[in-house]
Amino acid sequence: MLRAWQRGQTGFPIVDAGMRQLWQLGWMHNRVRMIAASLLVKHLLQPWQAGAAWFWDTLVDADLAANSASWQWVAGSGSDAAPYFRVFNPVLQGEKFDPSGTYVRRFVPELARLPDRWLHRPWEAPAAVLHGAGVALGRSYPLPVVDHAAGRARALAAFAAIGDRAAGEDG
């Protein structure tokens, strides 16, 4: 999962665009940093330190304190943490912040010919639309590495279990 995320092969176009931009340019917008970080830590249940290490190695504007604090914020830990139950929906975030798909089309060119309606959720596009756009899910572009709803539910359950243990309710 970590490798798919690092390579921009998660199946979530906004995340993949951000991770590919990071690899190509050494930078990505803060909003995409948060979306990508949320996917890694919440949906994929990877330790925030793995994401922080990757950003540290690839960001040209890396700052140790800001990088660590930002990752802890997304993870719901640290001194200024976002609520653990904040799990960004990468589809809705893509549709909200890249509604015309300009950003995704630039960094995920294999999806460039998809209509805006399907760009941030290609797995929901009709087969004829995918074929017409030259997209073969699972071959030319990956299927999502996790279902959003299932990943969110799993993350919330995992964080709740940690909270229960920390409160002494779980033994």
Give the start-to-end residue ranges of the domains of the chain: 1-171
User: What is the average per-residue pLDDT within 61-80?
Assistant: 87
Nearest by Cα to 111 from 12, 7, 4, 2: 12
Q: Cβ distance 122 to 13 under 8 Å?
A: yes
Higher-scoring residue by pLDDT: 158, 135: 135
- Judged against a pLDDT cut of 90, whether residue 166 lies above it is answered with no
Q: Does domain 1-171 have CATH number 1.10.579.10?
A: yes
Task: List the structure tokens of 131.
Answer: 């074929």
The mean predicted confidence, pLDDT, of the chain is 91
CA torsion sign for 168, 78, 6, 110 is positive
Cβ-proximal residues to 57 (8 Å cutoff; 6+ apart), any chain: none
Instruction: Place 170 in a pLDDT band, splitting at 50, 70 and 90.
Output: very low
User: What is the average per-residue pLDDT within 131-139?
Assistant: 98
Q: How large a percentage of the chain has pLDDT more than 70?
A: 91
pTM for the full predicted model: 0.91
* 137 φ, ψ (degrees, to nearest 5): -60, 135
